[in-house]
Structure 1
Amino acid sequence: MFKPMASIFTNHQIAGHYRAIDRARKCIVPFHFEIQGQEYPKPKPERNWFRRLSGTSSQKYAMVELTPFKVILWSPERRNLGEMAIDDVQKIQIGAIRWHAGDGLDPGRAFRATIFVLTAKGNYYFANSDMEVLPAIVKFAHEHDVPVEDPLHLIPLLKAGWKAAAKTLRDTYSQISAHTGYPDSKV
């Protein structure tokens, strides 16, 4: 794990927004991701007919948006929490952690993708429930010349699809994470 440092995000002094960014610097925080228009995890269809007609959604969540020029954090209310230039990102580390899930559940639900964004002024820790975000982040990073670390070697596993990768990851996670600093226990 990396030591949090000072924030690089701008616009975070607005009331309450600093806490969200500060928390992402200290611990792994669940965020949805939007990478060039694609959301991870995919939004669930709205069940309320009035909201469907009006185009609004009852589900609200914080989001990290990756664009060709910057990284933007959005609050659940879609307020800009802060942004940084993509050039400020020194490295991205991808990984997986065991989540609060029982052993009898689907192995695909037992893990969360982790995305650590490393900058000169701070490191930010994000989690996402959709492991398909990892190949999308790797592709995005390569397109924008951002180095990517994959200490758990997840990308080769994910080429077979998340269902097969989840079973392999469940069976071998202790060995894979042994010397990486990732916790073997559930978070």
Structure 2
Amino acid sequence: MFKPMASIFTNHQIAGHYRAIDRAKKCIVPFHFEIKGQEYPAPKKETNWLRRLSGTHSEKYAIVELTPTKVILWSPEQRNLGEMLLADIKLIQIGAIRWHASAALDPRRAFRATIFVVTDAGNYYFANPDMEVLPAIFKFAHEHQIPVEDPLHLIPLLKVGWHAAAKTLHETYAQLAAHTGYPDSKV
């Protein structure tokens, strides 16, 4: 969809951690998102009582944090992988890719949200398992005057909520994706 270019993220860690940013320029990389203190998807409740008491979690994820001034990438170990100013973002494209093609599965689990961040120095491709992140990103971008493309017209569909919109998207995805470059088959 977009041609990867040089990185705009300022690298704060060793070269091994820089690979996460490099991978995000070449392919869609799964990341959790944190917008205004809300994590997408919401963290699962910790089942280990010792970890609950200590405030730590068994499952850790890489996170894209959107702040009022910049975008920060965090490793699962909470290391700062890189930062970029919001002013450097030219465009955000939101979309969805089919994760499971079977209609027998719950349609809410059949898609992953895609977030493509376009800058002059590079383009970054992120995926998120929670489709509710798309309206949050749309609202965040609107508040910070960042243009948003929605080629699959998901925002009007998601206004009724992901649970209600999932079945409609599952049935109409092939038509929506036909002229956008999004793959119709599962990834």
Tell me the TM-score normalised to structure 1 length. Answer: 0.98
Answering whether residue 135 of structure 2 is matched by residue 135 of structure 1, we say: yes
The Cα shift of 1:101 comes to 5.6
Trace 1:126-165 onto structure 2 (pairs within 5 A): 126-165=126-165
Trace 1:1-187 onto structure 2 (pairs within 5 A): 1-11=1-11, 14-100=14-100, 102-187=102-187
SS in 2 for 1:16: helix
Q: Deviations over 1:58-95 (max 9, x none)?
A: 11110000000000000010100000000000000000
The Cα shift of 1:163 comes to 1.4
- Mapped to 1, the partners of 2:160 and 2:28 lie a distance apart of 27
**Equivalent residues of 1:101, 1:109 under 8 A apart:** no
Kindly provide the amino acid, as one letter, of the partner of residue 83 in structure 1.
E
User: Following TM superposition, where does structure 1 have runs of at least 4 consecutive aligned residues deviating by more than 2 angstroms?
Assistant: 100-103
Kindly provide the amino acid, as one letter, of the partner of residue 176 in structure 1.
L
Q: CA RMSD in A?
A: 1.0
Kindly provide the amino acid, as one letter, of the partner of residue 36 in structure 1.
K
The Cα shift of 1:24 comes to 0.4
Report the count of equivalent residues.
Answer: 187
Unaligned segments of structure 1, at least 5 residues? none
**Equivalent residues of 1:117, 1:124 under 8 A apart:** yes
**Equivalent residues of 1:32, 1:40 under 8 A apart:** yes
The Cα shift of 1:102 comes to 3.3
SS in 2 for 1:10: coil
**Equivalent residues of 2:101, 2:185 under 8 A apart:** no
Kindly provide the amino acid, as one letter, of the partner of residue 62 in structure 2.
A
The Cα shift of 1:12 comes to 5.1
Kindly provide the amino acid, as one letter, of the partner of residue 50 in structure 2.
F
- Mapped to 1, the partners of 2:186 and 2:88 lie a distance apart of 32
Unaligned segments of structure 2, at least 5 residues? none
SS in 2 for 1:118: strand
